[in-house]
Amino acid sequence: MSEDPALGELLDVLSDEYARDILAATSIKPMSAQELADECEMSKPTVYRRVERLQAHGLLDEQTKVQTSSNHYSVYTATLSKVSLELDAGSFEAAVTRTDDESFPGERESDTADRFTKMWEDL
């Protein structure tokens, strides 16, 4: 997503306790829907609804984990790093910093070729 969501939409998404719990959990490590349901004590349908909304606003990334048993599943990683809100001359401005906007160490691979190479090496 090239543009940040409108301020009202962003605040609405972040006001949801379940969405914040998902972002907090996935900022530590990538997690599957089942892991999120267990960790955040919510149902899987609730997880999937919040995941969809967070992805629509560019705050959550999805990657497919490939298993040798041919059962593949998705894991989610928070892309939100920082939100700042500024009031200047009678108007609010929000700035969103995503982990892919900065050098973020960890399991995120920014390049598709690197992810493919890592997947191949793990097989």
Structure confidence at residue 6 as a pLDDT band (50, 70, 90):
confident
Count up the domains in the chain and report the number: 1
Q: Which amino acid is at 5?
A: P
Q: State both tokens at 50.
A: 């919040």
Mean pLDDT of the chain: 81
What's the pLDDT score for residue 30?
Answer: 95
Q: Is residue 2 part of a domain?
A: no
* CA gap 7, 12 in Å, rounded: 8
What's the pLDDT score for residue 4?
Answer: 41
Mean pLDDT is highest, among 43-52, 73-82, 88-97, 113-122, for 43-52
Domain CATH for 93: 1.10.10.10
What's the pLDDT score for residue 9?
Answer: 87
The answer to whether the CB of 61 falls within 8 A of the CB of 112 is: no
Element (H, E) at 92: strand 91-98
What's the pLDDT score for residue 95?
Answer: 84
Which 8-state DSSP code applies to residue 110? Answer: S
Full residue range of the structural domain in which residue 76 is found? 7-122
Residue of 83, 74, 119 lying closest to 101 (CA atoms) = 83
Could you give the 3-state DSSP secondary structure of residue 105? coil
What's the pLDDT score for residue 86?
Answer: 87
